[in-house]
Every structure is written in structure tokens, then in C-alpha cells.
Structure 1
């Protein structure tokens, strides 16, 4: 059985969520495909993406996913006679396809927060906003597939709640990268709650304001804000800092190795986000053996389980209290142990097996 795996969303500068999901799942699928009787070929649009795929991976170069030809991609792919195509997004053109198709929708967050990524072409950003004004375009898109994939049970439940698709929905879970592997050989995770680490954007729904207000109740500690930030947004947040509270450090972007080093240094991962599609930084911290204090909401419960303490997203004092709770070594050890047991269920090999099983169950290639 021939599978075309759409790897065109892999970035060559730095991974975002879709890029990392694509690259990690691609590697696991490449490893597992032979035992499932699947011949996998990866779609790329830039030769610079090839080094991010497994050694020996076969590739097929086509247009970029943002190209004006994208709605007609299936007509191009028909020439290569695939049995199935999997895309980690839902925008690949399906018109006239003669193969089984699995499309992926990670979450519904952009229906609540419609600002598109700024690095997209203007016409894609415009289409993005129009597309998310109603569920109707998404329903039409997803119903054109045979199967819809998503990354969490929380997202699958939301799809059902809003009746987003008539197609079967399969959960192909996201999984954390193993940040501990990026630490020097002589460095281990040091227990403590001295450093509060936030990894994520500074969009309003991320609610970093609550973290800064919580810092006011935590003198002697440091809140590390890791991601890149605009000067205007930094000024807004800096105006909330209480000099008598925790120090607040804007890092302006860090490498994965720097991120790992910060988490390893007596750290707690914190997020007061009011909405999330998944929450990969939470999963990464828990996998590393670092506890978290995060907003009480279903997706964080699914990702972190007992590896986090939970607080209302707008309650700064509750966040501060949760962090202080982790000063107790026994409490922290119990949270870390619970998190390690929980996060073990998220594994790329398992996700690849779910995908390949779904591929095997697809209708066979259409002749005409």
C-alpha cells in the first residue's frame, strides 16, 4: 500500500507546533511503515525540508501548501497512484481525488481567536479569517476526507459538540520532545520551585498578565518569559511588574537547549492560558520531570494529568499558592511521579501505529 505523507509543513528555521508534529510523526511512521506493509513517500516543497526527514526517506517535491495551486493538489497526486494521502493539516486540495484521504484538524481555537500566523501571505491570511467566520467551510473541507484526525480527546469531543464532521474522527496524539536529551551529560533536573518558566506566545488569550500578577506574591523567585515578544507587548506586560515581587525576565526567544536548561534549574512550568489547542510546553515539562501549575481546563488535564497543579486562569493568588505548594519536597515528588506515569501514554511510536491502522482501513484506490 502506498502512502503519501504530507511533510510540507516542516519548517527549516525553527519548529512551530505543526512543524514539530509533522517531523516527529513522519519519523515514527517511516520506522513503522514496513511492518504495516506500507510504502511511504513524503511530500515536500523545498529540498531544505529533506534533512528534517529520516535518513533514507523517499520524497516527492510539489508546490508549497500556500501556493494558489493547493486546491487542485489531488489532481496532481492522482498521477502518482497513491492508495492513501495523510496531511497533518486540513487544507490540501481533495477535489477529484482517487485515493483514500486523512485530513487533520488539531483544534478549534482559531474559531475563538481568528488572528492568523503573521508569516503567511496576505491572501492566505485573508482567506484564513473568512474561513473561520463560520463552521460551514470547515465542515465541507473535512467531509471531503475519508477520516479526520486530531491530536487530543479534548479536540475530538469539541468536534462532536459542534458537529464539525460526519467522517470518523481518529485521535493521533501529539507527544512531547524529550528535552532532557538536550542537557549536558553532567546536568540533571534539579528539584525546586525557584524559577517559574513560561513558554508560549503573548497573545491576549495566553493571559500572561495573571502570571505577572502572581509573581507579585512570590518575592525571591524569577519568572522567565521565554518567547519572542514585540516591544509594544513587552511594555504592556512590564507595566504590571511589582518590583517587590519575583524578578521577571524577558528572554526574547531561546533555543531548545536553553529551554531545557531553564526547566532543569529548580523550575516549575507555568501557564495561565485561557484557551489552548494542546499545550505542548506543559507536556514537555512533565515528560522532563518538571511539575506545572496551569489553568484548570480539560486539555491541560488530558495532557498533564497529576503532573500539574491547577488554578482558575484569572486567579493570580491561586497560581502563587500552587507554586508555593511545590516548595514541599514530598508534594513535588508526588506530582512529578504522577506526571511521569501519565505522560508515558503519549509516544510517537503509538501515534504512528494509530495512523497506519487508520490508513489500512481506508477505501482502496479509485480507478476513475
Structure 2
């Protein structure tokens, strides 16, 4: 099978969640089949595996409406897109589209990096479910990354197509932190600073954690940083890194007491499984997706209760409790892997080929 994969959501400088998901899936599935990457900017190649590629339009371009005409000429047996927005009118190939989450129906503020016209369309798109149904029903198979999101898709009747899990996973080769390296009194947060991420409660919780340092690792706008700095309790240690390299992230993760997130909505929560994969415990909000991903290994708390959050952190200050959480996380992280995800994608691609209405004409 020749599988074309849409890699146009790959970043050009550093991975975000979607970018890392797509690049990791491409590398893993290339062990099973021939892969052709679809890019829109040659700078994306720096974060992608060394595989055949072709450059097409940006996914944010008006030309996206007609992108299938270009892809039709590439001779792919199936096409996989790690998003749901790929143009599909006039396609002559089996197609798998991916819906990661339904976050923006309850939290309609669009990502700030999108152009203004796209942000306006984003808000309109999430006012109702019918545009989502229109997109997803144009695929042959729909993918998602968690049972939590699949259940929500069924609840809102988002598609008539079969929905298959193509799971996210930590990066391969993660080596557990050594037992003889004691945890420092530090907490890490890795993620955006959008309102639904609920970083405010984490910061307020630092009032109950003297001696701990909270490291906010991700890039942040000046305006948002000013808002959050105003919430830092007197005497609390909160450090804004405004972006870290993968090496810096790994170094900090291996020395921290815990990774923390009190997000109120997620499609998966990749930092949670990344943290558990190296043996660093997790304190997270008690919401369905974190119950699913952590499998009981994380300490889950009420996301609106700063004191409860701080209490869970203090619980991890006891060495025996910390070690128990570390061991549970390592065991749970072993349930996820890109090799298994690649096999899931191959099965979904085979199903898409069988379901494709134009199958007989292609023979």
C-alpha cells in the first residue's frame, strides 16, 4: 500500500501536540508501508522523518477546497490526515480524517496563532455541530485518539462513518529516571495558556506549597503572562520559561516532583503520558480523559480546588508515596506505543480502502 499522509500541520520550529502526533505516526507507519508526506513548507522537513514528500498548498489556503484534484494525481492507495479539515471534494482515493477532541465547542476561543479571518471562521464553525458532521461524513473512516472523544462523537452523532482509535503515545526510547536521583521540590506545567487549561488554579495552589517551584514551560504572550503574574501568591516561586527545548524539558521532567495539569478539557493530554513514561508522577484534574489516559496512575483532583491540588503535591513529598506513583505511571505508560498506533493506522487504511465507493472503478 502507498499511504499519503498530510504533514502540513507540522510546525517549522518546534512541535506542538498535533505536529508531534503527525510526525510520530508517519515515522512509525513507514515501517509497515510506503509513505508519501504532503507538506506545505519545506521548513517542515526539519521535524519530519526522511521520507518521500510532495509540496502542496497550505491547509489554511482557499486552494484547500480543491486539494483533492492535486492529490488524485499522486497515485496513493489511501490518504490519512491527522486533522478533520482536509478538503475532499472530487477525491478519487480512500480517506481517513481525524478528530482529536470537541474542546472548542465549549471553549470557542480559537488558537491565537491562526490568521484573523481563520479565527473568525473557527468561531462560526464551532457554533453548531452540523459543519463537523459535513466534514467527517466525507471520509471513509474517521479516526480519534481516545475512547473519551469517541464517546463524545457518538453522543453528538458526529458521523455515520466507522470511528477507529489511532492512539497518541510518548516518544519511543524514554528511559526511566534513576531511583538514586531524589525528586526536587519542583512542578512542571507543559501546555498552552488558553483559558480552558486552567493554569490559574495551579498558580493559586502555590500559596499552599512553600518551598516548591512551579515551572511554566510553554511559550506565552506578553499579555497573557502579565495576567498570570498578577495571580502569583506572595512568596510563591513561579518561573515562566517561555519555551524550552526537548532536551531542557526532559532534564526538568527527570528532576521534578510531578508534572501538573488542571485542564478542564483535553483530547488526550500528551504531557501526562510523557511524564509517566520517565517515571515522574502526575497530578491532574479529575476529568474523563485523564482517568482514561492515566489508568489510575495519576493523582486526580478537583480542578477548581487549589487546596486539593496542593494536598496531592504534598502527598508526593512522602518518598514511599512518590515511588508508588512513579512505578504506577511507568507501568501505565507501557500500554501506549507508536508501533501499536501504526498497526491501528494500517488497519484503518485497509478498512477505508474496502469502504471507498470508487473501489471497483480503481481496479
Report if TM-score (shorter chain) is over 0.5.
yes
Q: CA deviation at 1:175?
A: 0.8
The alignment partner of 1:42 has SS state of strand
Equivalent residue, structure 2, for 1:5? 5
In structure 1, C-alpha distance between the alignment counterparts of 2:303 and 2:211, rounded to whole Å: 23
In structure 2, C-alpha distance between the alignment counterparts of 1:63 and 1:189, rounded to whole Å: 51
Contact 1:174 1:346 in 2 (8 A): yes
In structure 1, C-alpha distance between the alignment counterparts of 2:49 and 2:218, rounded to whole Å: 28
Q: CA deviation at 1:60?
A: 1.9
Within 5 A, what are the aligned runs for 1:150-299? 150-177=144-171, 190-192=181-183, 194-244=185-235, 246-299=236-289
In structure 2, C-alpha distance between the alignment counterparts of 1:31 and 1:202, rounded to whole Å: 36
The alignment partner of 1:234 has SS state of helix
Equivalent residue, structure 2, for 1:334? 324
Equivalent residue, structure 2, for 1:36? none
Matched, 1:26 2:20: no
Contact 1:190 1:266 in 2 (8 A): no
Q: CA deviation at 1:75?
A: 2.0
The alignment partner of 2:5 has SS state of strand
Structure 2 residue runs without a partner (length 5+): none
Closer, same or farther in 2 for the Cα pair 1:137/1:306, shift >3 Å? same
Closer, same or farther in 2 for the Cα pair 1:289/1:182, shift >3 Å? closer
Under a length normalisation based on structure 1, what TM-score does the superposition of the two structures give?
Answer: 0.92
Contact 2:12 2:46 in 1 (8 A): no
Structure 1 residue runs without a partner (length 5+): 34-38
Equivalent residue, structure 2, for 1:62? 56
Q: CA deviation at 1:178?
A: 5.3
Query: Which residue, 328, 343, 347 being the options, matches 2:337?
Result: 347
Matched, 1:49 2:27: no
Equivalent residue, structure 2, for 1:16? 16
Question: Which range moved further: 160-169 or 221-230?
Answer: 221-230
Contact 1:188 1:264 in 2 (8 A): no
Matched, 1:135 2:129: yes
In structure 1, C-alpha distance between the alignment counterparts of 2:323 and 2:121, rounded to whole Å: 48
Question: Which range moved further: 356-365 or 285-294?
Answer: 356-365
Under a length normalisation based on structure 2, what TM-score does the superposition of the two structures give?
Answer: 0.93
Matched, 1:320 2:310: yes
Equivalent residue, structure 1, for 2:295? 305
Question: Which range moved further: 204-213 or 308-317?
Answer: 204-213
* C-alpha distance after superposition, 1:10-56 (max 9, x if no partner): 112111111101100000011122xxxxx32111122222343333x
RMSD: 2.1
The alignment partner of 1:69 has SS state of helix
Q: State the aligned residue count.
A: 358
Q: CA deviation at 1:197?
A: 1.0
The alignment partner of 1:273 has SS state of coil
Q: CA deviation at 1:69?
A: 0.9
